[in-house]
Structure 1
Amino acid sequence: MTRDLRLLPVAVGAWGVALICVFVPGTAGWLAGGCLASAVIIGAVLALRRPAAATWSGLMIVVLAAGAAVAFTVLVQSADRDAVREWDGRVVEAVGQVSSSASVGRDGRLWMDVQLSGIGAPGAAGLASGPVRIGIAEAEGFVLGAVVRVTGESVGTDPGERAGLVVFVTVGTVERAAPGVFGIAADLRRSFVERATRLPEPGAGLLPGLAVGDTTAVPAAVDADMRTSGLSHLTAVSGANCAIVVAAVFGIVALCGGARALRVVFAVVALAAFVVLVTPEPSVIRAATMAAAGMLSILVGRPSAGAGILAVCVTALLIVDPWLASTPGFALSAVASGALILLAPALADGIARWLPRPLALAIAVPLAAQLACAPVIALFAEQQSLVSVVANLLAEPAAPLATVIGLLACLAAPVPVVADLLAASAWLPSAWIATVARVTAGLPGAQVLLPAGLGSAAVVTLVSVAIAVVCCRGGPRVREVGGGGRRRGGGGARPRAAPPR
């Protein structure tokens, strides 16, 4: 099946412009103007040339327009960010709305993003706008949508960071609880975490992460094992979680006889509800958008359009939030999604020359993601997992069970007996995943340490390309001949044609 790659330059161009703008904010205005001027010039030239040049020129105009939109977003938000950064190195009082879920940092604090409405000296917070990241020792009620007031020492962030400041909170209060559905979702998550952590380890603390993306209860040892074994993507809401929810609803509606359009509608509704439950922070919206790209390709009946739809989604996300371009999570999500669309089918075909087709496909999916993501990981992290493919093969079958049953346990919180039964059932696959992580992480040579940076990324890229080439080419295909005999393709005598009747 051929893939439509015409829109990939649009996504790559938008990503490049976003990286330049967020790391060198002063260039945003120049890039916005330059891209727009170039698009106008190309459009004028295109009007005078023959139609044969229209395709490439039109694509270039779209690339420049997307780049201009990204640069304009950075330009508009730069003033607010600069105003927030002026409080670097001072004790501040900040008021704002929590805009992300909380995660436990290495210092034991709970870290979350807050969209400011005011910042200033203690007792005199003035009006302000912009994102900050806060770290607090105890954060009862600090959930998505809650309005909070915190006091602490501020530290400026490096270029490329979404937050303008980091605030180490000494005193924090909740001014207004999370409203409406966000408050209900927070209560459901809190009840589920309490219920899950009453179960035995391993698996108890991991279960909320698998089901609803709440990693606050994951033990440090389990978290380390998940990273070493290449399973850390399961402990937070990713495209895989969204795809599991979508696939489950899609399958149920299909079993009930629903048409393709009806399946997609129900899947979209379920995905939206899932996003609200696990908190619609940027990383979750990113993951949901990637999953929605796959659904859209199904709706239009063109799986080959998956790459183009993915490119449109990446471009749209970067226009809305250009700072995503510098985050490892966004890069890994986009690259992994692209690998599953473009690389996994070729790997499956190549591996199928050695192994049965179902097993080849099972290996191709995690292998494609690992080969594509490894160079990105090498840019930011010093460890490369050598057991990731094996660990994912063993753990992935249990992930959908833990996610779906865990979600049901979370939603069943108003009926404790049912919720307890479902949580205990979801604990089994969660415990299996934790055990796989511990065993594979303990294998000799489970990971290799490389200094993070471009050099390591280049080396890992060469290795990944070599492995992909070998696997895609595969070996001699085993084919059947006549009465059940077997021979290897390309060898032996050519079979004689049947005589005419």
Structure 2
Amino acid sequence: MPDLRALALGAGAWVGALIVLVLPGRVALGSTCVVTVLVGAGVLRRRLAAGWLGPVAALAAVAGVAALQQTLVASSPLSGLADEGAVVTLRLELTSDVRTVTGQYGDLQVVRARASRVEGRGRAWSLDAPVVVMADADWPRLPLGTAIETTARLVPGDDDVAALVRPTGDPRVLGEPDVWWDAAAAVRRSVRAAVAGRDADARELVPALVVGDDGGLDPELADDFRTTGLTHLLAVSGTNLTLVVGFLLILGRWLGVRGRWLHALAAVGIVGFVITARAEPSVVRAAAMGTVALVGMGRNGRSRGTRGLGVAVLGLLLVWPRLAVTAGFALSVLATAGILLLAPVWRDALMRWAPRWVAEAVSVPLAAQVACTPVVAALSGQVSLVAVGANLLAAPAVAPATVLGLAGGLLGLVWAPLGTVVAAPAAWSAGWIIAVARSGADVPTAAVDWGTGPVPLLALTLACLAAVPLAPRLLRRPGSALACTGLLAVVMLVRPPTPGWPPDGWVLAACDVGQGDGLVIRAGEHAAVVVDAGPEPTAMDACLDRLEVRSVPLLVLTHFHADHVGGVDGVLEGREVGEIEGTSLLEPATGVRAVTSLGREPGLAAYGMTRTVGEVTLQTVWPRPGDTAGDAGESAPNNASVVLVAEVAGVRILLTGDVEPSAQAALARDLAGLRVDVLKVPHHGSRRQDLDWLTSLGARLAVVSVGEANDYGHPAPEIVAALTAAGTQVSRTDVSGDVVVVVRDGEVGVVTRD
């Protein structure tokens, strides 16, 4: 039987962290005190069982630690200096690997660090505070564990860091990484070297499976893993540790290791795994969940596993309370709980008519998927229908890919050719996993759009809770189990129609692609001109499918920022695509490479050219040759955006890319007196606009293509207010989903799909 008391301790700890991290300070303090007093009084008066004291004590302890950590960060000298935008000298130790991210004005290096000393504004402080370093792409790339000194400007950060550090000069190295970090880096390099000669996707997937090193993975393949519910394989997860340490224990038994020495071997394996995968909170969390899984595999595993899970949750949150609000923590805990609590019951039901190995193979991924589905839907807005099948098919290849990949890396440190030979089956296994992900993502209805609002998520959560008692009843009979499987197969293989979509008379669609642009102009029956493709292929492909677009005679890429070109492959997927055109400024280089790597070289959208593409008339009105830089502080790639005036079905549309105020002012001079029916608001509604020009266009409708809860504050409220005051109806993809402009009876209107 599962030990629910330990789970209650973990639940109490989780609630305590959420109270402090989600609620305002005084409300959080009051809530914690009220709960503690009420439960204590209830126990004293014997109205509540004494068992309540444990969870409440866990709640109060974690809430206290979370509040203390928040106070220490908020009261750090770094926070005060960051509020003032001070330039300081910092001593830092890098605590993570460097990641490259695409910023508003180009690529940035992002790395976490701990600050030990800061000098600025005539004072100096010794401290220990977490920070995030955000440096330009040309800043020296230093390994984890390096101690440095650098000058930097401080800016306010998130609640879990004291400041964001923007270096203003090159760092001075004060200390090299410790020997264990060097050893871990050597293992990671050796794993990569062991599979370096394999297929491009396989040689990136093996390091991801072994130590979560997915930095070079193809974004399209990563999307396929998300669609098929295999994303957990790309990050450091409990599965990685279970496989690695489990193999180490089997090897130890074979060599004659027994008793306490076997436990010591497991401990060494866990520590080695954590160091190799990087000792960050997410890695330690994964290691804790993997250890719980190992315990659950032993004798009396269900009871010991649930006790281990509750203690692991409590311990992790006492050290890192902010894990409570991270998606990875929630998914790890829920998946482990599902496997421990639900899988044995569902396995026993299946074993009434199916072999044990079949019952276990089906029940484990099914239980984990049901437990995690509400959180996954809250993050992605989708429910995967192929996740259980994909995990079932991929599972046999995960162990050899992980274990042999690591073995190849370790042996490669001794003799590189031996490591390559041992790692070869790991690459073959990774190839099978890749094939499963791609085939699963190609299923017509691999996932269904669900939404992230409170009502759909509540309905989904209730459905998953209802599955807990219902599933065993369905699984214990072959007829009902096979009927459900057949129904699911039909739903996946036959793409359901979207009633009333695309709407009659549609002329322009702003696809809901997140923080980016993906615009579609109807050019005829099942044909469209596409302007930009959003940040990732899946959303763009799905939007074009919903619009029943099968042919794209022209694809225009206004500029090469990732939020406009990352989804180009989604446009190409299964469609006849004619010309691809873009701007003359081939920056940033990463965006240009992302397009050219698909085998299509974009031509130039010639300034001043007017042409007809199907039912669409297009005129390129910007950029003028050689006139893209703009004012100081503006983004040259943004100002080089291709700007189009389109006309279809009598509706005039201005598509503005991401042009900034100086380019807008130039357009106002070049296109004096221009009037349009529909305006695509530049740069996702950024505050940086020439409002006089935008409001002078007389647009009846304005469309803002923008991601929900984006970090940029787009669209700026004052921009929306100014357009509305000018008589323009403003529609936003973050609020309404796909925004479609329609013409009916000569009138222009908007239909949304939220």
> TM-score if structure 1 supplies the norm length?
0.83
Describe the shift of the 1:141–1:476 C-alpha distance in structure 2 as closer, same or farther (beyond 3 A): closer
Identity %: 33
Query: 1:468-483, aligned counterparts within 5 Å?
Result: 468-474=468-474
For residues 130-183 of structure 1, the C-alpha deviation after alignment (integer angstroms, 9 at most, x for no partner) is 22233443676533322244566655455xx53344445565534422112112
Aligned to 2:7: 8
Q: Which runs of 5+ in 2 are unaligned?
A: 479-754
Describe the shift of the 1:157–1:464 C-alpha distance in structure 2 as closer, same or farther (beyond 3 A): farther
Aligned to 1:418: 418
Q: Give the alignment partner of residue 90 of structure 1, picking from 85, 88, 93.
A: 85
Is the aligned partner of 1:79 residue 2:71? yes
Instruction: Judge conservation of contact 1:25–1:78 (CA < 8 Å) in 2.
Output: no
Equivalent position SS for 2:421: helix
Q: Name the aligned partner's letter for residue 289 of structure 1.
A: A
Instruction: Judge conservation of contact 1:242–1:288 (CA < 8 Å) in 2.
Output: yes
Describe the shift of the 1:299–1:193 C-alpha distance in structure 2 as closer, same or farther (beyond 3 A): same
Aligned to 2:435: 435
Distance, in Å, in 1 between the alignment partners of 2:109 and 2:180 is 23
Aligned to 1:68: 60
Describe the shift of the 1:92–1:14 C-alpha distance in structure 2 as closer, same or farther (beyond 3 A): farther
Instruction: Judge conservation of contact 2:236–2:286 (CA < 8 Å) in 1.
Output: yes
Instruction: Judge conservation of contact 1:354–1:475 (CA < 8 Å) in 2.
Output: no
Which shows bigger deviation, 85-94 or 320-329?
Answer: 85-94
Query: 1:51-200, aligned counterparts within 5 Å?
Result: 57-82=49-74, 83=76, 84-86=78-80, 87-88=82-83, 90=85, 92-93=87-88, 94-105=90-101, 107=103, 109-119=108-118, 126-136=125-135, 137=137, 142-149=142-149, 156-157=156-157, 162-167=160-165, 171=169, 173=171, 174-200=173-199
Distance, in Å, in 2 between the alignment partners of 1:140 and 1:325 is 34
Aligned to 1:482: none
Query: 1:220-259, aligned counterparts within 5 Å?
Result: 220-259=219-258
Instruction: Judge conservation of contact 1:378–1:456 (CA < 8 Å) in 2.
Output: no
Describe the shift of the 1:436–1:148 C-alpha distance in structure 2 as closer, same or farther (beyond 3 A): farther
Distance, in Å, in 2 between the alignment partners of 1:417 and 1:358 is 37
Q: Which has the higher strand share?
A: 2
For residues 411-456 of structure 1, the C-alpha deviation after alignment (integer angstroms, 9 at most, x for no partner) is 2343222222233332111122122212211221112223324333
Describe the shift of the 1:431–1:88 C-alpha distance in structure 2 as closer, same or farther (beyond 3 A): farther
CA drift of 1:318 comes to 0.8
Which shows bigger deviation, 2-11 or 247-256?
Answer: 247-256
Q: Which runs of 5+ in 1 are unaligned?
A: 479-501
Which shows bigger deviation, 144-153 or 440-449?
Answer: 144-153
Equivalent position SS for 1:7: helix
Distance, in Å, in 2 between the alignment partners of 1:452 and 1:89 is 37
Instruction: Judge conservation of contact 2:242–2:294 (CA < 8 Å) in 1.
Output: no
CA drift of 1:103 comes to 4.3
Equivalent position SS for 2:464: helix
CA drift of 1:124 comes to 8.1
Equivalent position SS for 1:130: strand
CA drift of 1:315 comes to 0.9
Aligned to 2:394: 395
Q: Name the aligned partner's letter for residue 93 of structure 2.
A: Q
Aligned to 1:315: 314
Describe the shift of the 1:268–1:30 C-alpha distance in structure 2 as closer, same or farther (beyond 3 A): same
Q: Which has the higher helix share?
A: 1
Instruction: Judge conservation of contact 2:351–2:476 (CA < 8 Å) in 1.
Output: no
Distance, in Å, in 1 between the alignment partners of 2:313 and 2:360 is 26
Distance, in Å, in 1 between the alignment partners of 2:409 and 2:197 is 14
Aligned length: 467
Equivalent position SS for 1:199: coil
Which shows bigger deviation, 426-435 or 34-43?
Answer: 34-43
Distance, in Å, in 1 between the alignment partners of 2:406 and 2:91 is 33
CA drift of 1:253 comes to 3.0
Distance, in Å, in 2 between the alignment partners of 1:38 and 1:420 is 63
> TM-score if structure 2 supplies the norm length?
0.57
Q: Name the aligned partner's letter for residue 67 of structure 1.
A: L
CA drift of 1:244 comes to 0.6
Distance, in Å, in 2 between the alignment partners of 1:135 and 1:449 is 35
Describe the shift of the 1:423–1:355 C-alpha distance in structure 2 as closer, same or farther (beyond 3 A): same
CA drift of 1:208 comes to 0.9
